[in-house]
Structure 1
Amino acid sequence: MNWEKIKKTLGPGILFASTAIGVSHLVQSTRAGANFGFGLVLFIIAANVFKFPFFEFGARYANATGKTLIDGYKRLGNYAIWIYFLVTICSMFFVSAAVVLVTTGFMDNLFGLSVLWPTFNLFPIALVFLVTVSLLMSGKYNFLDHFIKIVGIVLLISTLIVFILTLINGPAEHVEHFIHPHIFDDTSIMFIIALMGWMPTAMDMSTWVSLWTVAKMKSSNYHPTLKETLFDFNFGYWVSAFLSLCFVTIGAYLIYGTGKTLPAGSVGFADGVIKLYTTTIGDWSYLIIATAAFSIMFGTCIGLFDGYARTLQRTTTILFAKNDNKETDSRNVYIWSLVILAIGSFAINAFFSGQFKILIDLATTISFLIAPLVAVANFKLVSSKYIDKAFLPGKLMKLISWLGILFLTGFAFFYMYVKFLK
């Protein structure tokens, strides 16, 4: 592949990775390692492997048709686009609230805003919403593309350094008479479902891969080959998958069995994660690590809000505009989507004030339960009925897709059984 052409293509995959690395890695993977050691590694690997085809189909479909998966859902029938629209509306406030809460924790850890405004603990949260929405209202895709690449590289390098040093130093000593937790009790199962819900990220965000791929093609004025598009996506996806194992290792080596725990609040949790880095690298690295962690979470916020706004922009255009290619009011829909998303998510944060882990687990569980619907729809759209034969997935991808649908559906029903029937 020509490097100049790769540079024109590179972006959506990195944006996907940076959005994924947020809550699922910094929070959930670290918690998995801290609470269960390496006991949940197989679940993390399984989620990454069995979800892979359905995210890849977003890039594949966009390259094959020049359109997004959302446009594809319309081709499946009005019922499909309406289901996706309603699922998005029902989940987006909880997901956005959870991500903003984590971002606020890392921002507060870095800047200490809660000390400046101790009587208004929602001020840092409101500030994150305000800055994120303002940047997206005034910015363009190119800004998002460049910003994410920079902060992603910083966190990637710092995480790899901590990961390597952690392996060299070995695991911390366990406390005497340490009892290993049960993986298959009800509480652990609830966490496993939540962990897989955003591993590497929520399945409904597979449409964002197609949205960003189409946006990249428009901004670069270049339609890449399928090989070039998939190279960009595969690079981002498997880097994020590898980093999830890095965070599990860091939690398992530095916290599991030591008697230490990660704090429950968002600010305390952020401080606990930063200390995992600084105790390994050295206190001198605090500012670099704290800045990188906040930056990647802020980048996740921007990517998340942009993804949801683009989703609402496209779905409302398809559902309610007389001409589904109409662009006249498209920008207004995008802006109003950002405002509504911010207000609704802020209300969720206010309602769940101080309940950091509950909100995170609720948002990730919702994402996991709707995953089978998205998986089936995406799989249908890469059949020969909807794209040219040259773009069809191979036999191995089809096999993994079928196994993935069974995996996601099986765990969704298992969760419902444990939660409501057991």
Structure 2
Amino acid sequence: MNSEQSNSKLNRILKTLGPGILFASCCIGVSHLVQSTRAGADYGFAIVWAILLANIFKYPFFEFGSRYANATGESLLEGYARKGKWVLWMYFILTLGSMFAVTAAVGYVTTGLTANLFQLDLNISSVAAILFAICMLILLIGKFSYLDNIIKVFAIVLLTSTVIAFITTLFHGSVEQSPDFIPKSMWNPSGIAFLIALMGWMPTAVDLSTWNSLWTLARIKQSGYYPKLKETINEFNFAYIITAVLSLCFLTLGAMLMHGSGKSFSNNSVAFANELITLYTTSLGDWSYLIIASAAFATMFSTSLAVIDGYSRALDRTTQLLFLNHDLSKGEIQESRKWYTVWTFINVPISFFVITFFLNNLRALVDLATTLSFLIAPVIAIINYKVILGHNVPEEAKPPIWLRYLAIAGIIFLSGFSLFYVYSKFL
């Protein structure tokens, strides 16, 4: 009997597993591979507080996405619509304002890793075009199941290699500091700009919380199993803890293997990819180069898939709510492959042209995308807080008091740093 219960519990876990892994994949992409490693390389462990605070104070707003979907059977976007169409319009405008920069930033890093791994004798624009075309093909033909299965495999590979590299680095110790090393200041204009960019995608952009709710619903539809609220929250929490721990692992790799050495990351995506992978091989040995390069590429490729899917899925739902006058009393909106396809064909080509504009300045593109994400975060955070406490959410499914207080603290934190950035930048 105990064996049957154990198998039944495992089966429920496996049927629930998916949305959190997709979320983690989005996080491990640019924010961890690029920004956390850069943070460690430039500022060492002095910047660890920013990573910890961003992970803590953003947590409620991502959790609300999973909680709302399970409790109501609809996505956060329907929740926005219930608060008034102006809320949905605000989300729509903010999404369009950041979507192309975000997709381009993720695609650019993936392009560099692709060219590095396969030693492609092509210019970056050509590699980016091929990469985006493959992503579109997978998403438009394969739907959610392909995305779900691909990312689970890729995430396990990078998780394993990162933890091994982290532990090995701890045993080997830090690199020797350069005699003329001068620590960077975190509180000058460039330091503040990087701080905001780092927290903008740490662990990822707050507006991606809508994707959480959409992926939760898609997984329920795919598996045919409607998990208990606790099961959905546990699945998300498991993924969130992994992303938080990995952000510290990447910071440690940058801090111990580059900080004070006199080295810095290149602005060219191919050169950056090589430097990033060399960080791992410095710790693990040259034998690991191909394994690490493959794992890093796999992770960024899965992040590209998740980002393109997330934007298309969210804007498909937003289009139906804004322009097709869907009646919320009729229940959940069915995914429209038509609008999903339309938004994919809008997002990808424009993001490609953004890449060509920032061709030799990876840092500027990533910082632009992450800063935009941070500046819109307080708005999305406030909306999510209002939605999860709405009348359509059952009382027993609403967040506990401690989580509500943490959400309020998070709104203050995000708003405060956004105002601080605007003040330091323009006043």
Say if 1:317 and 1:326, in contact at 8 Å, map to a contact too: no
* Corresponding residue of 1:75: 82
Question: In the alignment, is residue 377 of structure 1 matched against residue 380 of structure 2?
Answer: no
Question: In the alignment, is residue 414 of structure 1 matched against residue 425 of structure 2?
Answer: no
* Corresponding residue of 1:149: 152
Question: In the alignment, is residue 364 of structure 1 matched against residue 394 of structure 2?
Answer: no
Say if 2:73 and 2:332, in contact at 8 Å, map to a contact too: no
* Corresponding residue of 1:166: 169
* Corresponding residue of 2:241: 238
- Structure 1 residue corresponding to 2:267, chosen from 258, 261, 264: 264
* Corresponding residue of 1:386: 392
Say if 2:100 and 2:347, in contact at 8 Å, map to a contact too: yes
How far 1:326 sits from its partner (Å)? 9.1
Aligned equivalents of 1:85, 1:300: Cα separation in 2: 22
* Corresponding residue of 1:90: 97
* Corresponding residue of 2:3: none
- Structure 1 residue corresponding to 2:218, chosen from 197, 215, 220: 215
Segments of 5+ residues of structure 1 without an aligned counterpart are none
- Structure 2 residue corresponding to 1:321, chosen from 312, 319, 324: 324
* Corresponding residue of 2:403: 397
With the length of structure 1 as denominator, give the TM-score of the two structures.
Answer: 0.97
How far 1:177 sits from its partner (Å)? 3.8
Q: 1:395 to 1:327 in 2, by over 3 A?
A: closer
How far 1:386 sits from its partner (Å)? 3.2
Provide the secondary structure at the position in 2 that maps to 1:256: coil
What code does the residue aligned with 2:299 have? I
Post-superposition CA distance 1:214-272 (Å, at most 9, x none) = 10111111110011000110011110111000000000000000111122211111100
Say if 1:93 and 1:348, in contact at 8 Å, map to a contact too: yes
Of stretches 380-389 and 412-421 in structure 1, the one that deviates more from structure 2 is 380-389
Say if 2:111 and 2:124, in contact at 8 Å, map to a contact too: no
Aligned equivalents of 2:283, 2:257: Cα separation in 1: 9
Provide the secondary structure at the position in 1 that maps to 2:183: coil
Segments of 5+ residues of structure 2 without an aligned counterpart are 1-5
Aligned equivalents of 1:17, 1:210: Cα separation in 2: 14
* Corresponding residue of 1:36: 43
Q: Where do residues 95-174 of structure 1 align in structure 2 (5 Å cutoff)?
A: 95-113=102-120, 115=121, 117=122, 120-174=123-177
Q: Where do residues 14-53 of structure 1 align in structure 2 (5 Å cutoff)?
A: 14-53=21-60
* Corresponding residue of 1:63: 70
Aligned equivalents of 1:189, 1:417: Cα separation in 2: 11
Question: In the alignment, is residue 336 of structure 1 matched against residue 342 of structure 2?
Answer: yes
Q: Percent identity, please.
A: 51
Provide the secondary structure at the position in 2 that maps to 1:173: coil
Aligned equivalents of 2:221, 2:214: Cα separation in 1: 11
What code does the residue aligned with 1:337 have? W
What code does the residue aligned with 1:296 have? T
Say if 2:138 and 2:146, in contact at 8 Å, map to a contact too: no
Question: In the alignment, is residue 206 of structure 1 matched against residue 209 of structure 2?
Answer: yes
* Corresponding residue of 1:352: 358
How far 1:348 sits from its partner (Å)? 0.8
Post-superposition CA distance 1:43-79 (Å, at most 9, x none) = 0000000000000000000000010000100001111
- Structure 1 residue corresponding to 2:14, chosen from 7, 20, 42: 7
Say if 2:111 and 2:127, in contact at 8 Å, map to a contact too: yes
* Corresponding residue of 1:184: 187
- Structure 2 residue corresponding to 1:299, chosen from 299, 302, 311: 302
How far 1:329 sits from its partner (Å)? 8.5
Post-superposition CA distance 1:249-296 (Å, at most 9, x none) = 000000000111122211111100100111211111111110010000
Runs of 4+ in structure 1 displaced over 4 angstroms?
324-329
What code does the residue aligned with 1:266 have? S
Post-superposition CA distance 1:161-203 (Å, at most 9, x none) = 0000000111111111422221111110000000000000011
